[in-house]
Amino acid sequence: MDSCDAKSSTKAASAKPDGVDRDLGGFQKRKSLQVIVREDRPLDFWRIVCEGIVAGGTAGVVVEAALYPIDTIKTRLQAAHGGGKIILKGLYSGLAGNLAGVLPASAIFVGVYEPTKQKLLRTFPENLSALAHLTAGAVGGLASSLVRVPTEVVKQRMQTREFASAPSAVRLIIAREGFKGVYAGYGSFLLRDLPFDAIQFCIYEQLRIGYRIVARRELRDHENAMIGAFAVPMRQPCWCDYWSHDNSS
């Protein structure tokens, strides 16, 4: 009796719904390495969106708050053009207003990236999982750019102490330069940042796939973090500060 129950349980566990095993591409060989792409059900879709929004927003706020002083120094160095004096006071100037933009931008990015990735993994052949990740990263970056670009414009103006607060910065930029002023550098963003968003997330996802194959298990949180940290420098050398150039022209 126990033997029959065990066989039934084994058969039930081995039954796989349509759409599974897509995330590992052509490399996946073992059941222990499966990453399940769920069926296209409305509740699953909105759950993935909500999880992405919460995770993306939280991660964006934590990273921005931690690295903001370094970013402020970088911006002031670039604004000095090699001959001015660098002011080290007020390194957190404009942080609150910037977080108000980073939170929705990061939430939008991950909230769009995750369901797009899941949909593309079901649509593309198994050996094109990298293309699915690449496309999803570009789509997420495009969606979040509507918030990211104005946030960056306002942040850099405040870091150089051109404005005292984010609301006044937005109001005065629009008054002086029109609505296009808060989207200064948007074309450069699309040409430069979108490809690197796509490349970064494609590298990240493919490294995770390879790591799972080697380790023959699912990744732990700290392993995902290390892979993400390794994927970022692959994009970072191409990061160009076009904001200062556009704003000064």
Q: Is 43 left (phi over 0), alpha (psi -120 to 50) or beta?
A: alpha
Residue 121 lies in a domain: yes
Q: Is 25 exposed, middle or buried (0-12, 13-18, 19+ CB in 10 A)?
A: buried
Residue 51 lies in a domain: yes
Residue 5 lies in a domain: no
Per residue in 149-170, pLDDT (tens digit) is 999 898 888 877 788 788 888 8
Residue 6 lies in a domain: no
How many structural domains is the chain composed of? 1
Q: Which domain holds residue 133?
A: 38-248
Residue 8 lies in a domain: no
State yes or no: pLDDT of 63 exceeds 60.
yes
d(CA 171, CA 179): 10
Which amino acid is it at 131?
L
Residue 103 lies in a domain: yes
**Alpha-carbon distance values, 193 to 129, 188, 213 (Å):** 21, 8, 30
What mean pLDDT, rounded, does the chain reach? 78
The two structure tokens encoding residue 37: 């792409």
Residue 31 lies in a domain: no
* CATH code of the domain containing 111: 1.50.40.10
The two structure tokens encoding residue 5: 């129950």
Residue 23 lies in a domain: no
Per residue in 25-43, pLDDT (tens digit) is 444 444 433 444 445 566 6
The two structure tokens encoding residue 79: 């604004």
d(CA 158, CA 155): 5
Tally Cβ neighbours within 10 Å of residue 79.
Answer: 18
Tally Cβ neighbours within 10 Å of residue 22.
Answer: 22
State yes or no: pLDDT of 183 exceeds 90.
yes
When mean pLDDT is compared across 2-11, 129-138, 152-161, 166-175, the lowest value belongs to: 2-11
Nearest-CA neighbor of 235 among 203, 188, 190?
A: 203
